[in-house]
Chains A and B, each alone.
Chain A
Amino acid sequence: MGILLTQTILIKHNYISMTILAFDWGLVIEKLILIAIVVFGSLGIALYTTFGERKVAAILQDRPGPNRAGPFGLLQPLADGIKLIMKEEIIPTAANKWLFILGPALAMTASLMTCAVIPWGSDIELFGRKIALQIADINIGILYVFAVVSMGVYGIMIGGWASNNKFSLMSSLRAASQAISYELAMGLALIALLMTTGSLSLKTIVEQQIQGNWWNIVYQPLGFLLFFIAALAECNRTPFDLPEAENELNFGYHQEYSSMKLGFYLFAEYINMIMSSAIMASMYFGGYDLPFFDESTVAPNIAAMIGVGTLLIKIVLFVFLFMWIRWTIPRFRYDQLMNLGWKTMIPLALFNLLITGALILANV
């Protein structure tokens, strides 16, 4: 018995050392660089999304918007960031200190983690290596996105509860129930898409759209509409921004927050917006596919760069749509929100599922 155990341990030890030796360290470096680029890139884009939000709001309201810091006000987000960092950190005495700090950290982490499965472009070749412009092509990509997105609501929940403020608590309750209600419709809308693609991997879904004739939006228009509305709700954007309803909840779950912790919450919202835009672009609008352009006619690296640019343009357009909606539509009442979620979106999603299933069965 004892000999057998030692043998097993030896074998295991051997196995581990062999795998370490055989490990492709280039992959680690390549992925780390990619993670750094994606994380800091999305932080930078989020920084400028706040600027974009203010500019779009201003232009839609016939105002010039921020134009004092730097040319066209382009340094405004930096000034905002410096201001947030320099502000005094206030933790209320009655707040639960650890949870109070954990809340924004979790919100930020959850929103940044989404970017791990988004395919930013086709493979590039550098130093004789084939590098995929995707942090992890896992075969359950969309499932992972859903898991992470639903973690985001914990950040809001914990932050709202730990503030020990009734308004914050109310707001976090709203956020949680809203997220749960709309995640259902979102998931059901997505299942119809997955039935047509037959894969959960975002990379595969994008490649199918590139090889196929049409983007998925053509096959799933209703599904996209439902997904888009649910995405608005998941990002807590107008008309679903009840968790931060200024007129009744003062500021919602981040009311007690100050300094960069508040900044994290606000940032997380913008990163969520960018990530959900990227996911919608990948799933319904061909991801990094530039329409009417044959990627095989140019060098693979250039094609990949064109792909990245295309995806970024699609993201920007979606983010603009988010903002455009925000500065047009007023906020829902809470019962209207719940009615829309449970009595309209879910039946419609189920209907969409049924139609999709019937069409697949009929082999159209």
Chain B
Amino acid sequence: MQPLTNKAQAVSRDPMTFWERLYLINIIKGMFITFSHMFKKQPTTRYPEEKRAFSPVFRGLHVLNRDEEGRERCTACGLCAVACPAEAITMEAAERETGEEHLYREEKYAAKYEINMLRCIFCGLCEEACPKDAIYLSETFAPANYTRKGFIYGKPDLLIPNPMTEASDLALARGVEA
């Protein structure tokens, strides 16, 4: 058969010579190979202190977006919940009262918005479905929790810091996530 690469090597079927049968020389050669690995760079990422950067297309934990004035973008239309193949998203809509214009961008908003992170498969379809740019998948993942209840993320867990009042928090969050 014609070899596909030039890496093919014929196996030597010759009987081993005396020095080969001693094995000692080959053992010493092998030991020098392992010894040389003592001085090689370790590819390990020392996790809690050092974090490996995710790729920009990584689909991680969701965030609920605000606009430039710090108002919630979500209008509780429910398209994300419909798009969700894992049925991880539930929400309750409410009407904006007068005097709440600085909190919610449109007349309707999500009074309750919950994502069950144990159900979520992080497919990103909610992000695609959202007509208001309100939900995004960030570059972090859901941290461990002691109870199943802890994995149901509500609005306080999902909303990004207000760019008007908590600008430093937002910058921090962006810095960590980027």
Residue in A closest to B39 when the chains form the complex, CB atoms: A59
Chain B residues with Cβ below 8 Å from A177 are: none
With A328-B27, A329-B27 known to touch, is A60 a contact of B44 (CB < 8 Å)? Answer: no
Contact A63 B44 (CB under 8 A): yes
Chain A residues with Cβ below 8 Å from B37 are: 59-62
Chain B residues with Cβ below 8 Å from A67 are: 46
Identify whether the interface residues of B are mostly helix, strand, loop, or mixed.
Answer: helix
With A59-B38, A60-B37, A61-B37 known to touch, is A329 a contact of B30 (CB < 8 Å)? Answer: yes
Q: A59–B40 Cα gap in the complex (Å)?
A: 9
For residue B2, CB closer than 8 A to chain A, the reply is: no
Q: A67–B35 Cα gap in the complex (Å)?
A: 21
Chain B residues with Cβ below 8 Å from A328 are: 27, 30-31, 33-34
Q: How far is the CB of B151 from chain A (nearest CB, A)?
A: 26
Residue in A closest to B26 when the chains form the complex, CB atoms: A329
Residue in A closest to B31 when the chains form the complex, CB atoms: A328
Chain A residues with Cβ below 8 Å from B46 are: 64, 67
Q: A24–B40 Cα gap in the complex (Å)?
A: 58
Contact B40 A62 (CB under 8 A): yes
Q: A62-B37, A327-B34, A328-B33 are in contact. List 7 more A-B contacts (CB 8 A).
A: A60-B38, A62-B41, A62-B42, A64-B46, A324-B35, A328-B30, A328-B31
Docked complex: B5-51 residues within 8 A CB-CB of A: 27, 30-31, 33-35, 37-38, 40-44, 46
Contact A63 B27 (CB under 8 A): no
Contact A325 B31 (CB under 8 A): yes
Chain B residues with Cβ below 8 Å from A59 are: 37-38
Q: How far is the CB of A279 from chain B (nearest CB, A)?
A: 22
Q: How far is the CB of A320 from chain B (nearest CB, A)?
A: 10
Residue from the list B33, B38, B40, B42 in contact with A64, Cβ < 8 A:
B42
Q: A63–B40 Cα gap in the complex (Å)?
A: 10
Chain A residues with Cβ below 8 Å from B44 are: 62-64
Name the interface size band of chain B: 10 to 19
Chain A residues with Cβ below 8 Å from B27 are: 325, 328-329
Q: A327–B34 Cα gap in the complex (Å)?
A: 8
Q: A328–B31 Cα gap in the complex (Å)?
A: 6
Q: A67–B48 Cα gap in the complex (Å)?
A: 12
Q: A181–B117 Cα gap in the complex (Å)?
A: 61
Residue among A62, A63, A325, A327 having the largest count of chain B Cβ atoms under 10 Å: A62
Contact A60 B43 (CB under 8 A): no
Residue in A closest to B42 when the chains form the complex, CB atoms: A62
Chain A residues with Cβ below 8 Å from B42 are: 62-64
Name the interface size band of chain A: 10 to 19
Q: A62–B38 Cα gap in the complex (Å)?
A: 7
Closest 8 CB pairs of A and B: A328-B34, A60-B34, A328-B31, A328-B30, A59-B38, A62-B42, A64-B44, A62-B40
Chain B residues with Cβ below 8 Å from A329 are: 27, 30-31
Q: How far is the CB of A111 from chain B (nearest CB, A)?
A: 26
Contact B34 A324 (CB under 8 A): yes
With A328-B27, A329-B30 known to touch, is A62 a contact of B43 (CB < 8 Å)? Answer: yes
26 contacts between A and B (CB under 8 A): A59-B37, A59-B38, A60-B34, A61-B37, A62-B37, A62-B40, A62-B41, A62-B43, A62-B44, A63-B42, A64-B44, A64-B46, A67-B46, A324-B31, A324-B34, A324-B35, A325-B27, A325-B31, A328-B27, A328-B30, A328-B31, A328-B33, A328-B34, A329-B27, A329-B30, A329-B31
Mark contacts of A318-348 with chain B using CB atoms, 8 A cut-off: 1 yes-contact digit, 0 otherwise: 0000001101110000000000000000000
Chain B residues with Cβ below 8 Å from A62 are: 37, 40-44
Q: How far is the CB of A343 from chain B (nearest CB, A)?
A: 12
Q: A327–B33 Cα gap in the complex (Å)?
A: 11
Residue in B closest to A239 when the chains form the complex, CB atoms: B27
Q: A35–B31 Cα gap in the complex (Å)?
A: 37
Chain A residues with Cβ below 8 Å from B31 are: 324-325, 328-329
Q: A159–B27 Cα gap in the complex (Å)?
A: 33
Q: A18–B33 Cα gap in the complex (Å)?
A: 66
Mark contacts of A36-70 with chain B using CB atoms, 8 A cut-off: 1 yes-contact digit, 0 otherwise: 00000000000000000000000111111001000
Q: How far is the CB of B63 from chain A (nearest CB, A)?
A: 31
Q: A329–B29 Cα gap in the complex (Å)?
A: 11
Chain B residues with Cβ below 8 Å from A61 are: 37
Q: How far is the CB of B134 from chain A (nearest CB, A)?
A: 41
Q: A62–B37 Cα gap in the complex (Å)?
A: 6
Q: How far is the CB of B36 from chain A (nearest CB, A)?
A: 10
Docked complex: B144-158 residues within 8 A CB-CB of A: none
Chain B residues with Cβ below 8 Å from A324 are: 31, 34-35
Docked complex: A62-109 residues within 8 A CB-CB of B: 62-64, 67
Mark contacts of B93-126 with chain A using CB atoms, 8 A cut-off: 1 yes-contact digit, 0 otherwise: 0000000000000000000000000000000000
Chain A residues with Cβ below 8 Å from B35 are: 60, 324
Q: A64–B41 Cα gap in the complex (Å)?
A: 10
Docked complex: B72-100 residues within 8 A CB-CB of A: none
Q: How far is the CB of B125 from chain A (nearest CB, A)?
A: 39
